[in-house]
């Protein structure tokens, strides 16, 4: 086991932590302490943001689940049959689907004819699963529980990640301001020392 490597990594982590959070180190400057306190506050806020993001994700999932239940009674699955061969080349250029005449039956047995999108080169008579609304018109597939869960997780992760990015921006902006203030202070100190040396 590489003990020395582990010691070096542990030493680097310790030095990094002491740099960010100097604690009671007598050599730490006031700016170092402010930086450390800000870091602790932002870390705590990041932890507090976790349940907030989880709640937002849960609310989104519940709302999408309501859509799933509502659309389950508004959309019906059917099978459409192509009435013509789909063109091999698309007029719009490099696209995968083209519009073709097709027919399908409504739940009451009535036949409906219209156009739908299908892959280029599909043969006449090809059966294609479609979704219909209560009027018998083609519509998009209904929302699913998987989609609702995906939306909920996406909202939760995006919200938490966005808040963490804001906290990081605040922290590094504060560090940049401190660095400029320290540089200005060093410049003043060197100017004072140079004046003292020039008098000797």
- pLDDT digits 0-9 by tens, 10-22: 566 565 566 555 5
Average pLDDT over residues 163-184: 87
User: What CA–CA distance (Å, rounded) separates 74 from 134?
Assistant: 6
pLDDT digits (tens, 9 = 90+) for 89-114: 766 555 678 889 999 998 888 899 98
Of 123, 141, 159, the last residue of a domain is 141
In terms of domains, do 101 and 150 share one?
A: no
In terms of domains, do 124 and 165 share one?
A: no
Phi–psi pair at 93, nearest 5 degrees: 105, -135
* Residue 94, Ramachandran bin (φ over 0: left; ψ between -120 and 50: alpha; else beta): beta
Domain-embedded: residue 7: no
Q: Which domain holds residue 181?
A: 30-69+146-198
Contacts of 117 (CB under 8 A, 6+ apart): 97, 98, 99, 100
The band of 197, judged by pLDDT with boundaries at 50, 70 and 90, is confident
In terms of domains, do 85 and 175 share one?
A: no
In terms of domains, do 137 and 174 share one?
A: no
DSSP code string of the chain: --HHHHHHHHHHHHHHHHHH--TT-TT--HHHHHHHHHHHHHHHHHHHHHHHHHHHHHHHHHHHHHHHHHHHTT-EEEEEEESSPPPSS-TTSS-SEEEEEEEEE-TTS-EEEEEEEEETTPPTT-EEEEEE-TTS-EEPPPP-HHHHHHHHHHHHHHHHHHHHHHHHHHHHHHHHHHHHHHHHHHHHHHHHHHHHHHT-
Give the pLDDT of residue 151: 95
Instruction: State if pTM tops 0.85.
Output: no
Domain-embedded: residue 136: yes
Average pLDDT over residues 165-189: 84
In terms of domains, do 150 and 137 share one?
A: no
Domain-embedded: residue 106: yes
In terms of domains, do 99 and 132 share one?
A: yes
Q: Tell me the average pLDDT of the chain.
A: 82
In terms of domains, do 158 and 176 share one?
A: yes
Average pLDDT over residues 112-131: 90
* Residue 132, Ramachandran bin (φ over 0: left; ψ between -120 and 50: alpha; else beta): beta
Domain total of the chain: 2
In terms of domains, do 48 and 133 share one?
A: no
Greater pLDDT, 18 or 88? 88
- CA dihedral for 131, 134, 135, 136, sign (positive or negative): positive
Greater pLDDT, 157 or 180? 157
pLDDT digits (tens, 9 = 90+) for 168-178: 999 999 888 88
Domain-embedded: residue 25: no
What percent of the chain has pLDDT above 90? Answer: 38
Q: In what order do the strands lie in the sheet with 127-132?
A: 111-119, 97-105, 76-82, 127-132, 138-139
Domain-embedded: residue 53: yes
Strands 76-82 and 97-105: antiparallel
Average pLDDT over residues 171-199: 78
pLDDT digits (tens, 9 = 90+) for 23-34: 555 545 666 677
In terms of domains, do 89 and 188 share one?
A: no
Q: Would the pLDDT of 161 be above 90?
A: yes
Domain-embedded: residue 6: no
Of 141, 159, 185, the last residue of a domain is 141
Which of 52-61, 112-121, 157-166 has the least mean pLDDT?
112-121
């Amino acid at each position: 086991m590489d003990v020395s490597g582990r010691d070096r990594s542990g030493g680097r982590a310790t030095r990094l932590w002491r740099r960010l959070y100097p604690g009671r180190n007598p050599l730490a400057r006031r700016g170092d302490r402010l930086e450390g306190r800000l870091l602790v506050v932002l870390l705590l806020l990041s932890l507090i943001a976790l349940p907030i993001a989880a709640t937002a994700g849960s609310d989104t999932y519940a709302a999408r689940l309501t859509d799933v239940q509502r659309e389950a009674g508004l959309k019906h699955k059917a099978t459409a049959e192509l009435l013509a061969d789909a063109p091999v080349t698309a007029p719009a250029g490099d696209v995968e689907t083209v519009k073709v005449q097709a027919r399908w039956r409504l739940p009451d047995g009535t036949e409906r004819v219209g156009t739908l999108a299908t892959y280029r080169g599909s043969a006449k008579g090809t059966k294609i699963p479609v979704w219909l609304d209560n009027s018998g018109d083609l519509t998009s597939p209904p929302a699913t529980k998987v989609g609702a869960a995906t939306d909920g997780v996406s909202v939760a992760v995006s919200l938490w990640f966005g808040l963490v990015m804001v906290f990081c921006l605040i922290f590094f902006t504060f560090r940049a301001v401190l660095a400029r203030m320290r540089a200005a202070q060093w410049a003043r100190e060197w100017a004072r020392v140079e004046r003292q040396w020039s008098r000797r």
